[in-house]
Amino acid sequence: MNIHWNLEPVNLEYIARQIELSHFSWTNKDGKMQIQFTIPRAKGIWGFGERFDAFNQEGLQRKNQVVEHFTQQGQDTYLPVPFFLTDSLGFFLQTRLVCTFVSRRTKNGLRVTIVLPVCDDGVYFFSGNPQKILAGFLSLQEKAVLPPSWAFGPWMSANRWNDQETVLKEAEKAATYAIPATVLVIEAWSDEATFYRFNEGLWPDPKKMIEVLHRQGLHLILWQIPVLKKLDAGQVHSIHEADCQEAIANALVVTNPDGTPYHIPKGKWFAGGMVPDFTNPHLCQWWFKRREYLLEMGVDGFKTDGGEFIYTDEVRFHDGSDGTTMQNEYPLSYTKAYAKAIGKDRILFSRSGYVGSQATPLHWVGDQLSIWPELPCILHAGLNASVSGIPFWGFDIGGFAGPLPSAELYLRSFMLATFWPVMQWHSEPLGGQFSQTQSEAVNDRSPWNMAKHYNDDSILAICRKFSNLRMELLPYIESEAAYSVFHGEPLMRPLFYSYPEDDTACAIEDEYLFGRSLLIAPILTQGDGEREIYLPQGSWLESGTKEILNGPCHLRRTYDLGHIGVFLKLDFEHAFLKGLSLFTNVR
């Protein structure tokens, strides 16, 4: 195994002499490799990819494994990264294998243990502040890709929109209610067999529909899944059945060791389906030839869902890989193939991934229930992903599944999403897993449906205010996104990242910087909207009061359902931010 300190190759003796580490050991036993070391002065440990159950990962076991887990993800993740950082040290295990990390606080510092199969992977230590650590890690990866500017506007989506008439009506409602949007996602558009052909009876003229949406300033994203579906009992689809036979005959699918097609196991999503092998150039050509007409029609990108379909080590791939590595690597092979096929002016919106996913933006944090405990978990996931090198994220405003969120939860998450890389509302199918608990005939999380459901026009007014604020913020977001890509820094920055020498900032888990200039202090729990806020060193302009506050300082503020804590750092160059409605209106 190769060891590196700040990218330079070194030996074990060199590592053992570093003052940033102590009690270093490296052992092989029973077919497993174990690496242990202590970080003497670590204030916390963050990263490991998208992690829901905590922001600071201290005291937790982190499994480096892609896992599909519908709602309440807990310790599982769709997008693991075998990288972590503290306020002064970072570590990257260059592996595609499933492995575990455990950290615990001892009298000597933060003790870290990594266990993995014996292999010839690279180990990288990085010292310095978090910016330097993350830059070192990202220098080993493909550079992040900057999405087109329209991707940073508000998004609208609902799985219920399963025909052309409904989509056009919902787009018209957005205009009628003056709720701006730049992206519209359609999930239930296809024949539910090939997933590349429109259901012709429900979509009589998709090209004309796309032209109408484009005239309204809406870019269209269509849902995709990497599977050759096993048809439901009684379902007949001659084109899909021919596709499956052709894929088998030409060895375009993932296989078992005996060469037979691998099928997704019983009890899993799309059970019985075959998995396309994106390591095979012939599969990529075959797959995207069938979807080429969608791009020619004007489709602006794909929602590349799923990808967590490799459940056994024994499966085989065209490039010689097997399931030991492709449990983690398969989602990235899938999104990379799509990214290459669609070109740089279109986007992806993916759920799963691995190291290098910053090169195939954008992502979202999977599916959550419309309940309060999910909201802080979304923030944990987004911030840990951000310091793991994945800069562009979104979540489903108010949650995806179950009964409609309360008006309070919906509006708090709507305001939070305004200051998030991707701002999207979306909802599960009416016949979804939690549909038995739903009394609503329409479960859309659109502002107008929420207002109608609660008979409360103030919901529309607040959503209109923050959707327009998002549009006001676009020049800032685009500028900061470009800075993030160029410099290898997060768009959402935890306080420890920007203020590693500030012990109080390092302990804050419910605030963050959106770009370099805006500090966001959201309300994440049900109640009266009161919270404590910490402002680090610097001068800060408070939204809603025009008051200039000098940090470090603690504040206590109460925010009603039309407000969120936003503070402008005054020592940056984004002077136009002072003219935003946030900072010119006094509440």
Domain boundary (112, 138, 164) is at 138
Amino acid of residue 285:
Q
Kindly state the average pLDDT of the residues 387-394: 97
Number of independent structural domains in the chain: 3
Which pLDDT score, from 0 to 100, does residue 222 have? 98
Look up the CATH number of the domain holding residue 481. 2.60.40.1180
Q: Kindly state whether residue 230 falls inside one of the protein's structural domains.
A: yes
Nearest to 469 by CA among 347, 585, 349: 585
Domain holding 476, by residue range, is 406-421+435-587
Which pLDDT score, from 0 to 100, does residue 158 have? 97
Residue bearing the bigger pLDDT, 234 or 587: 234
pLDDT at residue 511 greater than cutoff 80: yes
DSSP single-letter state for residue 580: S
pLDDT at residue 151 greater than cutoff 60: yes
199 plus 161 within the same structural domain: yes
Look up the CATH number of the domain holding residue 70. 2.60.40.1760
Q: What is the mean pLDDT of the chain?
A: 95
Domain boundary (115, 138, 161) is at 138
Query: What proportion of the chain, given as a percentage, has pLDDT over 90?
Result: 88
549 — pLDDT class (breaks 50, 70, 90) = very high
- Token reading at 57: 């990962």
Which pLDDT score, from 0 to 100, does residue 306 have? 96
442 plus 579 within the same structural domain: yes
- Token reading at 182: 């730049």
Which pLDDT score, from 0 to 100, does residue 120 have? 64
Query: Measured in whole angstroms, how far is the alpha carbon of residue 207 from the centre of its chain?
Result: 30
d(CA 314, CA 306) in angstroms, rounded, equals 20
Residue 186 to residues 301, 426, 568, Cα–Cα distance (Å): 11, 10, 36
Q: 119-123, 186-190, 237-241, 370-374: which has the minimum mean pLDDT?
A: 119-123
| H-state helical runs in 312-357 | 323-342
570 C-beta neighbours (distance < 10 Å), count? 16
Residue bearing the bigger pLDDT, 572 or 281: 281
124 plus 159 within the same structural domain: no
Which pLDDT score, from 0 to 100, does residue 583 have? 84
Q: What is the phi/psi pair of residue 224, to 5°? A: -140, 160
Handedness of CA 295, 300, 305, 307 (dihedral sign): positive
Q: Would you say 84 and 130 are in contact if contact means Cβ atoms under 8 Å apart?
A: no
277 plus 351 within the same structural domain: yes
d(CA 495, CA 264) in angstroms, rounded, equals 42
Residue 183: beta bridge partners?
155, 219
- Helix pair angle (281-289, 323-342), 10° resolution: 40
Q: Kindly state whether residue 182 falls inside one of the protein's structural domains.
A: yes
Residues near 245 by Cβ (< 8 Å), separated by ≥ 6? none
172 plus 98 within the same structural domain: no
Which pLDDT score, from 0 to 100, does residue 439 have? 55
pLDDT at residue 579 greater than cutoff 90: no
Helix (H) or strand (E) holding 471: helix 457-487
324 plus 220 within the same structural domain: yes
Residue bearing the bigger pLDDT, 535 or 441: 535
Q: 399-413, 414-428, 439-453: which has the minimum mean pLDDT?
A: 439-453
Which pLDDT score, from 0 to 100, does residue 577 have? 84
Which pLDDT score, from 0 to 100, does residue 553 have? 98
Q: Give the catalytic positions in this structure.
A: 305, 308, 367
Q: What torsion, rounded to 10 degrees, do the Cα atoms 350, 351, 352, 355 define?
A: 60
d(CA 155, CA 186) in angstroms, rounded, equals 11
228 plus 301 within the same structural domain: yes
- Token reading at 99: 């492995």
Kindly state the average pLDDT of the residues 97-104: 97
pLDDT at residue 581 greater than cutoff 90: no
509 plus 546 within the same structural domain: yes
Residue bearing the bigger pLDDT, 333 or 578: 333
Q: Kindly state whether residue 385 falls inside one of the protein's structural domains.
A: no
17 — pLDDT class (breaks 50, 70, 90) = confident
41 plus 125 within the same structural domain: yes
Domain boundary (138, 161, 180) is at 138
Q: Kindly state whether residue 194 falls inside one of the protein's structural domains.
A: yes
Q: Kindly state whether residue 399 falls inside one of the protein's structural domains.
A: no
Kindly state the average pLDDT of the residues 59-76: 96
Which pLDDT score, from 0 to 100, does residue 435 have? 60
Which pLDDT score, from 0 to 100, does residue 546 have? 86
576 — pLDDT class (breaks 50, 70, 90) = confident
Residue 65: beta bridge partners?
none
Kindly state the average pLDDT of the residues 214-221: 98
Which pLDDT score, from 0 to 100, does residue 256 have? 98
Q: Kindly state whether residue 201 falls inside one of the protein's structural domains.
A: yes
Look up the CATH number of the domain holding residue 306. 3.20.20.80
pLDDT at residue 2 greater than cutoff 90: no
d(CA 155, CA 213) in angstroms, rounded, equals 13
74 plus 154 within the same structural domain: no
d(CA 430, CA 17) in angstroms, rounded, equals 60
Which pLDDT score, from 0 to 100, does residue 517 have? 95
pLDDT at residue 572 greater than cutoff 80: no
Amino acid of residue 68:
E
Q: Kindly state whether residue 80 falls inside one of the protein's structural domains.
A: yes
d(CA 487, CA 239) in angstroms, rounded, equals 47
Omega within 30 of 0 (cis) for the link into 362:
yes
| H-state helical runs in 238-397 | 238-249, 281-289, 292-297, 323-342, 374-386
324 plus 209 within the same structural domain: yes
For 64-171, list the strands marked E by DSSP. 80-85, 89-94, 100-106, 109-117, 122-127, 154-157
Kindly state the average pLDDT of the residues 532-557: 95
Nearest to 307 by CA among 287, 266, 347, 278: 278
357 C-beta neighbours (distance < 10 Å), count? 29
Kindly state the average pLDDT of the residues 331-359: 97
225 plus 322 within the same structural domain: yes
Residues 305-325: pLDDT tens digits? 999 999 999 999 999 999 999
Q: Kindly state whether residue 394 falls inside one of the protein's structural domains.
A: no
